[in-house]
Amino acid sequence: MIENGPSAATPAASLHRVSEQRRRAREERAQRRRARRGDLLLVPEAEPATTAVFRPGADTERAAAETLTRRCGPDVRLMFRRSLGAGREGVVDVLAVTPSGVHVVDVRQYTGSPVRVRRSTGLGEHLVVGGRDRSALLTALQRQAEALRLVAAEVPTETDVPVYPAFCFDVADLPWATQWIAGVPVLGPRGVARRLNVGGPLTPEAVALLAAHLADRLPPA
């Protein structure tokens, strides 16, 4: 189990639970059909894409979480798979409280796909993954960051607590130089770790207070 910070959830645990629940339900349905037909051989039913998609995603989250846990210093409080609650933009993949502020990280897997920020006159910026426009990911991440700003503001601190969103594209084709879209960096796991390790104005006491508050307000998904 990977833990770092108060009540850190096991990375990707909820995805594995969903995957296993669907697998068991699928096997039970197949056995009932075979029983009705009188089949004697139990041949495993093929796993549909709607179920299989959970396991690669879970593995990606776990790999990113392990990299962050290994590369982040003791001042970084990490939490994984935290729920913002119904109607509040779903699940935060990685939540970190550091001396520089609160960081919300959206972990994505597009194996080998080129990830680029495109800029065009009059059309603004676009997040393009494998040749397809994925700018909607930015909108969702920005909404998560705004929801976290409201939660972080509930904690009295000597300074305002900034909230920094970031993308973490694992095993994707990223350029050497950091890309930015609407002020949000597009990084790999190591780049995210370097970002989290940057110092800031928050004291260790403030970091601990914020981390405890966020762990309480955002339960494991």
**Domain range list for the chain:** 58-217
Q: Which of 9-18, 73-82, 109-118 has the lowest mean pLDDT?
A: 9-18
Q: How far apart are the first and last CA of the chain?
A: 16
Q: What is the pLDDT of residue 123?
A: 72
The arithmetic mean of pLDDT across residues 79-87, rounded, is 81
Handedness of CA 123, 168, 76, 194 (dihedral sign): negative
Q: Using pLDDT thresholds of 50, 70 and 90, give the confidence band for residue 1.
A: very low
**Count of other CB atoms within 10 angstroms of residue 70:** 11
Tell me which H or E stretch contains 52.
helix 49-52
CATH 3.40.1350 holds for 58-217? yes
The answer to whether 152 and 161 are in contact (CB under 8 A) is yes
Quick check: helix, strand or coil at residue 145? helix
The answer to whether 151 and 217 are in contact (CB under 8 A) is yes
The answer to whether 155 and 210 are in contact (CB under 8 A) is yes
Q: Which of 92-101, 152-161, 206-215 has the lowest mean pLDDT?
A: 152-161
Tell me which H or E stretch contains 193.
helix 189-196
Alpha-carbon torsion angle 194, 104, 217, 213, nearest 10? 30
The arithmetic mean of pLDDT across residues 12-36, rounded, is 62
pLDDT digit string, tens, across residues 32-69: 665 555 544 454 444 444 444 345 556 778 888 889 99
Please tell me the pTM assigned to this model. Answer: 0.74
Is the pLDDT confidence value at 141 over 50?
yes
Tokens representing 153 are 């503001």
Is the pLDDT confidence value at 159 over 50?
yes
Q: Which of 82-86, 98-102, 115-119, 166-170 has the lowest mean pLDDT?
A: 82-86
pLDDT digit string, tens, across residues 177-204: 999 999 999 999 999 999 999 999 999 9
Q: Which of 118-127, 136-145, 200-209 has the lowest mean pLDDT?
A: 118-127
Give 36: exposed, middle or buried? Use CB within 10 Å, 0-12, 13-18, 19+: exposed
Q: Which of 120-129, 162-171, 182-191 has the lowest mean pLDDT?
A: 120-129
Is the pLDDT confidence value at 168 over 60?
yes
For residue 182, which phi and psi values (nearest 5 degrees)?
A: 55, 40
Which residues are 179's β-sheet partners? 186
